[in-house]
Amino acid sequence: MCNIVVGGQFGDEGKGKIISYMCLKDNYDIIARGGVGPNAGHTIVHNGQEYKVRQIPSGFLNKNTKLYIGAGVLINPDVFLDEISKFNKFNIKERIKVDFQCGIIEETHRVRDKGDENLREKVQTTGSGCGPANEDRIKRVGKLARDIPALNEFLCDVAMEMNDAIDEGKKILIEGTQGFGLSLYHGTYPYVTTKDTTASAMLSDVGVGPKCVNDVIVVLKAYTTRVGNGLFWNEMDKNKKEKADNKSGKLLDELKISEKLSKIEEKGTVTGRARRVAPFDFELAKRSAKINSATMLALTNLDRLFDCAGVRKFNDLPEDAKKFIKIIENEVGVKVKLISTGREYSDTIDLR
């Protein structure tokens, strides 16, 4: 059995929170991380303690789960080793494996990322060196994990281990990073990251084929946020904008959401930069659900718009929140099966 979790907006949808809930609830044998690399930060809250990960899989809370990083992912060895020692109490060292073909971020990549005017000022990258490292990888001059002695003890053939585990009937979760709108192919180019970010890309990152997939869970925040430059989707095209504005505008007026949105302040996990905030974008959600082949949606941060902090049963939600969820399901055409009502992993409504 193999499930995939991906971001449906611009990253920071709360994938870390959803994955930490699923890893404890569903008991996966393996959780594998795909995506670009340490430009992504996931925040996990477990019994009041906050953990931020940029390199190791967010599913680390469950000590019975093996943790893998797929070949498509870039590794910054310093960040990787630091996270392993920081979260030592979870025995990460004993159960984490890195594909021998993962790309490596070197100091020069970070210098290039931060020093390039186009990347720094126009694209406003995270400065973590991911773009230049992928550039070198594409030029076939990049370093790989197998070239780094400090990573030697963690190396394995992640792709084959994953496929063997699937053949043996084990339970696998593939965790995506970033979000649909940041995809190099399908996102808001040129304000994007340096790879595709859809479910197909995550499969390719870890080396698993499409026939193995059971559920694709697209995570959506109850509003839209973006860190760094680039348009929100509904600003891209005038027709789309009018359609999206009318729909969300009417709904937002009805549910009095605009006022709450104006009070939301968030900061990026990796960069600490303020996130830009906009209403839920139905066009973006629909498009990302389609292109990801979503089988279910996970809706996060519902408590920021409605009075429902910590609610764990659908029937205990306020009527307006229920209405909002139904409208999303109708517009996007996919059921909302997981609802997050707080930062703690257990503040979750599970309708699966």
Which positions are annotated as active-site residues? 12, 42
The least distance separating Mg ion from the CB of residue 203, rounded to whole angstroms, comes to: 21
Q: Is 175 in the site for ligand IMP (CB under 6 A)?
A: no
User: Closer CB to Mg ion, residue 23 or residue 270?
Assistant: 270
Q: Could you say which of 3, 4, 8, 12 contacts Mg ion (CB under 5 A)?
A: 12
Whether the CB-CB separation of 103 and 144 falls below 8 Å is answered with yes
User: Closer CB to ligand IMP, residue 220 or residue 317?
Assistant: 220
For the chain, the first-to-last Cα distance in angstroms comes to 15
Dihedral-angle region of residue 266 (phi above 0 means left; psi in -120 to 50 means alpha; beta otherwise): beta
Strand 30-33 to 172-175 pairing? parallel
The type of residue at 167 is: D
Q: Is 41 in the site for Mg ion (CB under 5 A)?
A: yes
From the list Mg ion, ligand IMP, none, which binds 324 (C-beta under 5 to 8 Å, kind-based)?
A: none
Q: Is 225 in the site for ligand IMP (CB under 6 A)?
A: no
Q: Is 131 in the site for ligand IMP (CB under 6 A)?
A: yes
With helix as H, strand as E and coil as C, how does 293-315 read? CCCEEEEECHHHCCCCCCCCCHH
Q: What span, in angstroms and rounded, lies between the C-alpha atoms of 10 and 177?
A: 10
Sites for ligand IMP among residues 4-23 (CB under 6 A): 10-12
From the list ligand IMP, Mg ion, none, which binds 187 (C-beta under 5 to 8 Å, kind-based)?
A: none
Q: Is 197 in the site for ligand IMP (CB under 6 A)?
A: no
Whether the CB-CB separation of 36 and 64 falls below 8 Å is answered with no
Q: Where are the alpha helices (DSSP H) in the chain?
A: 15-26, 77-86, 92-95, 107-115, 117, 130-138, 158-167, 199-206, 238-255, 257-261, 282-291, 319-332
The least distance separating Mg ion from the CB of residue 40, rounded to whole angstroms, comes to: 6
Sites for Mg ion among residues 169-228 (CB under 5 A): none
Q: Could you say which of 23, 40, 69, 321 contacts ligand IMP (CB under 6 A)?
A: 40
Question: Where do we find the tokens 């959506």?
Answer: 220
Q: Is 128 in the site for ligand IMP (CB under 6 A)?
A: yes
Helix, strand counts (H, E) of the chain: 12, 16
Contact residues: ligand IMP, CB under 6 A: 10-12, 36, 39-40, 123-126, 128, 130-131, 177-178, 182, 191, 193-194, 227-228, 230
Contact residues: Mg ion, CB under 5 A: 12, 41, 269
